[in-house]
A = this chain, B = another copy of it.
């Protein structure tokens, strides 16, 4: 690994030089970040800001260690001849802390005593089944039957599958031309599945939904990319994003060459979204010549966990309508609400409740099978519901979808299932609700336990996770720790996360990967380890934090 580490550090340095330099960097300003926040009064190149608030290169830990770049001198592709937008883009959720974790995991395999812990606990990513969450039985039964319809009418099948999963599989197969689950579908997804999804949206919202508005996708990420690809023409196009944000947004904006226009969520009011602040940021960006095209809202919030109040959502809808912004609503955590005083409302429901129709506001809602109580990340299913776009724009969206033919059919089927789970009277209904409720109530309890534990630590404050799958505690680091981080050229929160990992095996993502008010430090920690592991995590974290503070206390 030594060679690899040396290489990586060299690359990292070169990468930083590229990002910071500008002169040699063909499009150093091709992606910019515009802000009127007191700490960001200038139009900053996005790349240089990234150095401040995103962690750095996401190296491939498993790349062959003998591959020194000097040996590749006769191959044509050099680091300074690739698309600079690719260099610029960052995705901290699978960044260098995770690479270190994978290295430590390899160490443990070779020598279980090589580190002061037995195992790595991945709290870096919302990936519930990787931490032991079991899939919902009914969903998997239907998927298995659709994968292998030949067993549907065998006697044995009735012994090992529920009656309603068999019935559902028949229904779904009947919606697929020729029952061909191995055929490319319509590029927006199988029409019958879109009908089912619309029925689910209607039941949720109480307003009509149109299957022609649904684009089924391989998870929510490709849907987000598609909207960015459609809206962004150049660095003069801006997308308003919350800070902190899920770094898919910053990565996608960078890859499409646009400008991220940040608005800050207010930590002091439970990560409140102040429309007046959004408006200030919009005006600043416009004064710099940025054409702001859309507003991203993540509700429930990632990494922040807040659930927006309906009145707040109404303000946001009015703001987008008034300012001519597309509202990009990331609603993938719609089933993950843990507190009795908050409820999820889709932005479409809110807009329709206000009397705004199809032609009043352009709204895209993203949903995924990866989150909720189902957590089926590996299935890569999801959809976007697209309303308020003229026909000729819709045609362009369809064309973009058609270039990639269609999303995977299992993911499509699963997206229809999560929007139409078993109902009262179905054979699976009781076991389904038991599985679902056990997961959701356990997530709520884990969130509370971790939140309390974090709040009991010196210099740590943590807003409650009203929803989603994360806590995003703020850590007030002693100056000595900040100096120590500087000495090793690392952001202080990345320094803390790295020390935490090395001491406990717990993997979290530094706040700099999501963006934060400059001078503040956070980390994102999922609430996903199984309940019986939480006490150990709490005690390891507490012990580490005490020792860290004792080492660095000013």
Quick one: which of A31-89 are within 8 Å of B by CB?
57-60, 62-64, 67-69, 71-72, 74-79, 81-84, 86-87, 89
Give the distance in Å from the alpha carbon of A68 to the alpha carbon of B156 in the complex.
Answer: 54
- Tell me which residues across on chain B come within 8 A of A63, comparing CB atoms: 212, 391, 394-395, 398
Give the distance in Å from the alpha carbon of A255 to the alpha carbon of B233 in the complex.
Answer: 11
Nearest 10 CB-CB pairings of A with B: A60-B398, A144-B148, A156-B156, A130-B183, A72-B390, A378-B409, A380-B408, A94-B402, A69-B390, A76-B324
Check A379 against B398 for contact (C-beta < 8 Å). Answer: no
Q: Which residue from chain B places its CB closest to the CB of A181 in the assembled complex?
A: B378
Give the distance in Å from the alpha carbon of A180 to the alpha carbon of B410 in the complex.
Answer: 16
Give the distance to chain B from A520, nearest Cβ to Cβ, in Å: 26
| 1/0 contact string of A319-337 vs chain B (CB within 8 Å) | 0000011100000000000
Check B394 against A60 for contact (C-beta < 8 Å). Answer: yes
- Tell me which residues across on chain B come within 8 A of A27, comparing CB atoms: 233
6 more A-B contacts (CB under 8 A) besides A15-B392, A225-B404? A74-B359, A76-B293, A83-B233, A144-B147, A218-B408, A248-B403
Q: Given known contacts A75-B359, A390-B69, is B86 in contact with A212 (CB within 8 Å)?
A: no
Check B160 against A154 for contact (C-beta < 8 Å). Answer: yes
Give the distance in Å from the alpha carbon of A326 to the alpha carbon of B81 in the complex.
Answer: 13
| 1/0 contact string of A152-188 vs chain B (CB within 8 Å) | 0010110111000000000000000110111111111
Give the distance to chain B from A335, nearest Cβ to Cβ, in Å: 15
Check A210 against B391 for contact (C-beta < 8 Å). Answer: no
Check B147 against A362 for contact (C-beta < 8 Å). Answer: no
A274 located at the interface, meaning its Cβ lies under 8 Å from any Cβ of chain B in the complex: no
- Tell me which residues across on chain B come within 8 A of A231, comparing CB atoms: 77, 82-83
Give 23 CB contacts A-B under 8 Å.
Answer: A26-B233, A58-B402, A62-B188, A62-B212, A63-B394, A67-B390, A72-B359, A74-B360, A78-B390, A79-B392, A79-B393, A82-B231, A86-B229, A91-B403, A93-B402, A94-B187, A129-B181, A129-B182, A129-B183, A144-B151, A154-B160, A218-B407, A410-B410
A123 located at the interface, meaning its Cβ lies under 8 Å from any Cβ of chain B in the complex: no
- Tell me which residues across on chain B come within 8 A of A87, comparing CB atoms: 396
Give the distance to chain B from A139, nearest Cβ to Cβ, in Å: 9
Instruction: Give which listed residue, B15, B90, B178, B211, contacts A132 with CB less than 8 A.
Output: B178
- Tell me which residues across on chain B come within 8 A of A436, comparing CB atoms: none
| 1/0 contact string of A89-106 vs chain B (CB within 8 Å) | 111011000000000000
Instruction: Give which listed residue, B130, B144, B151, B222, contacts A184 with CB less than 8 A.
Output: B130
A399 located at the interface, meaning its Cβ lies under 8 Å from any Cβ of chain B in the complex: yes
- Tell me which residues across on chain B come within 8 A of A326, comparing CB atoms: 76-77
Quick one: which of A392-439 are within 8 Å of B by CB?
392-400, 402-411
- Tell me which residues across on chain B come within 8 A of A8, comparing CB atoms: 395
Q: Which residue from chain B places its CB closest to the CB of A378 in the assembled complex?
A: B409
Check A140 against B147 for contact (C-beta < 8 Å). Answer: yes
- Tell me which residues across on chain B come within 8 A of A399, comparing CB atoms: 57-58, 86, 89-91
Check B361 against A75 for contact (C-beta < 8 Å). Answer: yes
- Tell me which residues across on chain B come within 8 A of A186, comparing CB atoms: 62
Give the distance in Å from the alpha carbon of A62 to the alpha carbon of B389 in the complex.
Answer: 14
Check A408 against B406 for contact (C-beta < 8 Å). Answer: no
Give the distance in Å from the alpha carbon of A177 to the alpha carbon of B375 in the complex.
Answer: 16
Give the distance to chain B from A250, nearest Cβ to Cβ, in Å: 10
- Tell me which residues across on chain B come within 8 A of A11, comparing CB atoms: 391-392, 395
Check B391 against A77 for contact (C-beta < 8 Å). Answer: no
A135 located at the interface, meaning its Cβ lies under 8 Å from any Cβ of chain B in the complex: yes
Give the distance in Å from the alpha carbon of A137 to the alpha carbon of B151 in the complex.
Answer: 11
- Tell me which residues across on chain B come within 8 A of A130, comparing CB atoms: 177-178, 180, 183-184
Check A229 against B361 for contact (C-beta < 8 Å). Answer: no
Give the distance in Å from the alpha carbon of A140 to the alpha carbon of B143 in the complex.
Answer: 11
Give the distance in Å from the alpha carbon of A41 to the alpha carbon of B487 in the complex.
Answer: 59
Give the distance to chain B from A470, nearest Cβ to Cβ, in Å: 15
Instruction: Give which listed residue, B14, B132, B380, B400, contacts A392 with CB less than 8 A.
Output: B14
Give the distance in Å from the alpha carbon of A150 to the alpha carbon of B138 in the complex.
Answer: 11
- Tell me which residues across on chain B come within 8 A of A86, comparing CB atoms: 229-230, 396, 399-400
Give the distance to chain B from A305, nearest Cβ to Cβ, in Å: 20
Check B391 against A68 for contact (C-beta < 8 Å). Answer: yes
Check B143 against A389 for contact (C-beta < 8 Å). Answer: no
- Tell me which residues across on chain B come within 8 A of A161, comparing CB atoms: 151
Q: Which residue from chain B places its CB closest to the CB of A394 in the assembled complex?
A: B63
Check B391 against A67 for contact (C-beta < 8 Å). Answer: yes
